[in-house]
Structure 1
Amino acid sequence: MPFAVYVLGLSIFAQGTSEIMLSGLLTELAADLGVSIPQAGLLISAFAIGMLIGAPVLAVVTLRWPRRSALLAFLAVFIAAHVVAALTPGYWVLFGTRVVGAFVYAGFWAVAATTALSLVPPDARGKAMSIVAGGLTIANIVGLPAGTVIGQHFGWRAAFWAVAALSALTMAGVAAKIPGGRPTEVPDLRRELRTMANPRLWLSYSTTALSTGAQLVIFAYLGTLLAKTTGLADGWIPAVLAVYGIGALLGITLGGRTADRYPFHTLIVGVAGLIVIAGALALTATMAAPVVVLAFLLGAFGFATNPALNTRVFSLAGAAPTLATAVNFSSFNVGITVGPWLGGLAIGGGFGYPSVAWIGAGLGVLALGTIVLSMALRRKESPAAPAEEPMLVAAH
């Protein structure tokens, strides 16, 4: 595996820590800024809104840029947004910096994914994406608990300063290891747009959005659920979040090994497991031991689908992957936006924190339906094809 792929994974770790660390900082943010916890939770959705817009827009804008130049530009803006966030006294300025930071983070994701997949042979795409996306998994294990501890002891602003500093360090790795020239084949925007007419591609986007929403509606309020429903002391919350991250690392590692050869099996097992776990969490939210185990399983099954969700879109896009891959990242962020928003509505409506797990189970059922429909459409279009859809065949 080229070392540049690991550099991209490290960069995603640095920026991904910002994406997820608010889950452990909502209480501190709400108290300091004078807003409710559901309002503070909308800062997670703000980040997702920026990614939702940023991925396709920046993928098109930078289509002909040298990839290294694009990645460095995105990192520079991301760092600046976090410096402003650390200094702001107001909620809405912070909200704005979350959108801006996420906008360029989405551009980084889209270019990084295309870069990583172009650096490896077709049969290693799943593993390459598991390494790049694994940066976010490591952020769950290290970045999220560390951000929570920093926020509890030094204030939430210190966590933003830490992300800015870590992101600045990754710029050196990107400058040193990512190829600096333009893509050998200059992407054709018209061909990219024609690719987007594929209905199976949009069905895959639906799977991405729904399965992500199922996980994120729970994850966004997991730290608060642990404190207010399960009754854990503040000092234990980072440890449980780290357990979730360990599960995520295991899940994405296993998913990366099966995504290329068994994409549909990987998706079905991951989403079905997520549905069961969400229901169990809703029923046992007041009991510490089951919640800790379920947090681990939530990370494992939730992240196991990630490589298949990414590489399947890349394969369906064929020779025009840039925009299709970027829209898939937007689909992830539809789920990240809608999930916490639905959870906030349920909590604000007085249904309690366990209600977010029931919402997660419902979204998971819808996601499972899109997978079954996609398999049926595959069989209808290619009756002689096996039920499983190998990545390499779909790419041609």
Structure 2
Amino acid sequence: MPLPLYLLAVAVFAMGTSEFMLAGLLPDIAASLDVPVGTAGLLTSAFAVGMIAGAPLMAGLARRWPARSSLLAFVLVFAGAHAVSALTTGFVVLLVARMAAALANAGFLAVALTTAATLVAAEQKGRALSVLLAGTTVATIVGVPGGAVLGALLGWRAAFWAIALLCLPAAAGVVKGIPARTVEDAQAGPAGPGLRTEIGRLARPRLLLVMLLGALVNGATFGTFTFLAPIVTDTAGLAAPWVSVVLVLFGLGSFLGVTLAGRLSDHRPGLVIAVGGPLLLLGWIALATLAAHPGALFVLVFAQGALSFALGGTLIARVLYEAAGAPTMGGSYATAALNIGAAGGPVLAAATLGPGRGALGPVWASGFLIAIALILALPLLRTTTPGADV
């Protein structure tokens, strides 16, 4: 894989760390800015909304810019938003900065996904995507625990400064590693398809269905991931420090899954879905049944991380294939699918929690989402050609 892909993954790592680390910092943020924890939780919602709306909006605004210019602008805005966040003493300013960071994150990821697909051969989009998504999985392994430790030792503002500083080498990598004009830029020129034509690709049933499947799988993933802490402490009866261990196990599994899927998603996507989908469903059922046993919990969390990202990464790669006629907007469709799932899954999972219900409702909700995805995916397993198959 080309070096620029790994440089883009550094920025994805910084952005993924920012997105996930906030949950552990909310109590300190609330106390520092003198707002209730529930109000501070709006920072997470604002980021999710910004990611969903920002992907197509930012990609549409930047579609006539060179990819390098777009990526550099987005990563610098992201860094600036975190610097403002670290300096502010007002919650409203922090909320606005968080939304700005989400828009920049969504725009960067949308352009990066499309750019990554143009830096490799046409039949290697899945492998290119796996490199970018590896940045997200490494964030769950290293970035999120690191942000939590930094926040605990030096305060939540230090974590925001760290993200801002981490964006600087990522920006240098974009300048150094991304060509001044890519194939994507040429396709976006006067001879390329217009914005209306690219948006018109959304009328294709296969594209919409693959986006829906990606959203369902990602919703299942983050539905349980968001509520792993009470499963570890309440259901399994482990001490609080074990939460970090379980999160790292999930991240390690995710990294393994997205890496292996990158080898198969271009040429054998049907195999990944046909085998990985049922195994993922069985894994959620097993986790809901055996989570009280720490040994089983550790193994299943690792396995579910691997299967979730293998299946989800494969489906998101298929979005890029199905959106081949939308050279500048295809990445935004993939980004939107990812974030609709990331935002909707925890909402559904939260609805299963309540007095007397225990902590395993989110796991059953994840299984339910995967069952729906498998039913919808059945018609798509009939073809296996790289350019047409899911």
* TM-score (norm: length of structure 1): 0.88
Flag the 1:226–1:34 CA change in 2: closer, same or farther, 3 A: farther
Flag the 1:318–1:296 CA change in 2: closer, same or farther, 3 A: same
Residue number in structure 2 paired with 1:359:
365
Deviations 1:355-394 (A, max 9, x none): 111111111111112211434xxxxxxxxxxx23322356
Correspondences of 1:1-396 after superposition (within 5 Å): 1-25=1-25, 35-36=36-37, 43-89=43-89, 93-181=93-181, 183-185=185-187, 186=189, 187-188=192-193, 189-348=195-354, 351-375=357-381, 387-393=382-388
Deviations 1:48-83 (A, max 9, x none): 211101111111111110111111111111112222
In 2, the alpha carbon distance for the partners of 1:117 and 1:105 equals 18
Residue number in structure 2 paired with 1:384:
none
**Greater mean deviation of Cα atoms: 284-293 or 134-143:** 284-293
Flag the 1:222–1:23 CA change in 2: closer, same or farther, 3 A: farther
Deviation at 1:40, TM superposition (A): 5.8
In 1, the alpha carbon distance for the partners of 2:283 and 2:276 equals 11
Task: Check the 8 A contact 2:18/2:163 in 1, yes or no.
Answer: yes
In 1, the alpha carbon distance for the partners of 2:301 and 2:59 equals 34
**Greater mean deviation of Cα atoms: 301-310 or 53-62:** 301-310
Amino acid at match of 1:114: T
Task: Check the 8 A contact 2:256/2:306 in 1, yes or no.
Answer: yes
In 2, the alpha carbon distance for the partners of 1:164 and 1:368 equals 40
Amino acid at match of 2:295: A
Amino acid at match of 1:277: G
Task: Check the 8 A contact 1:30/1:40 in 2, yes or no.
Answer: yes
In 2, the alpha carbon distance for the partners of 1:229 and 1:82 equals 36
Amino acid at match of 1:226: V
| Aligned partner of residue 179 in structure 1, secondary structure | coil
Flag the 1:247–1:147 CA change in 2: closer, same or farther, 3 A: same
**Greater mean deviation of Cα atoms: 287-296 or 107-116:** 287-296
Deviation at 1:149, TM superposition (A): 2.2
Flag the 1:209–1:291 CA change in 2: closer, same or farther, 3 A: same
Task: Check the 8 A contact 2:233/2:240 in 1, yes or no.
Answer: yes
Identity of aligned residues (%): 41
Flag the 1:42–1:341 CA change in 2: closer, same or farther, 3 A: farther
In 1, the alpha carbon distance for the partners of 2:151 and 2:73 equals 28
In 2, the alpha carbon distance for the partners of 1:350 and 1:42 equals 26
In 2, the alpha carbon distance for the partners of 1:271 and 1:30 equals 40
Amino acid at match of 1:325: G
In 2, the alpha carbon distance for the partners of 1:254 and 1:191 equals 34
Amino acid at match of 2:310: A
Gaps of 5+ in 1: 376-386
| Aligned partner of residue 347 in structure 1, secondary structure | coil
In 2, the alpha carbon distance for the partners of 1:88 and 1:353 equals 36
* TM-score (norm: length of structure 2): 0.90
In 2, the alpha carbon distance for the partners of 1:41 and 1:346 equals 19
Q: CA RMSD in A?
A: 2.4
Amino acid at match of 1:345: A
Deviation at 1:9, TM superposition (A): 1.2
Amino acid at match of 1:19: E
Matched pairs, number: 383
Flag the 1:36–1:269 CA change in 2: closer, same or farther, 3 A: farther
Deviations 1:124-165 (A, max 9, x none): 221111111111111122112212222333333322221111
Task: Check the 8 A contact 1:311/1:391 in 2, yes or no.
Answer: no
Flag the 1:299–1:93 CA change in 2: closer, same or farther, 3 A: farther
In 2, the alpha carbon distance for the partners of 1:353 and 1:92 equals 33
Flag the 1:180–1:293 CA change in 2: closer, same or farther, 3 A: same
| Aligned partner of residue 14 in structure 2, secondary structure | helix
| Aligned partner of residue 120 in structure 2, secondary structure | coil
| Aligned partner of residue 387 in structure 2, secondary structure | helix
Task: Check the 8 A contact 2:270/2:389 in 1, yes or no.
Answer: no
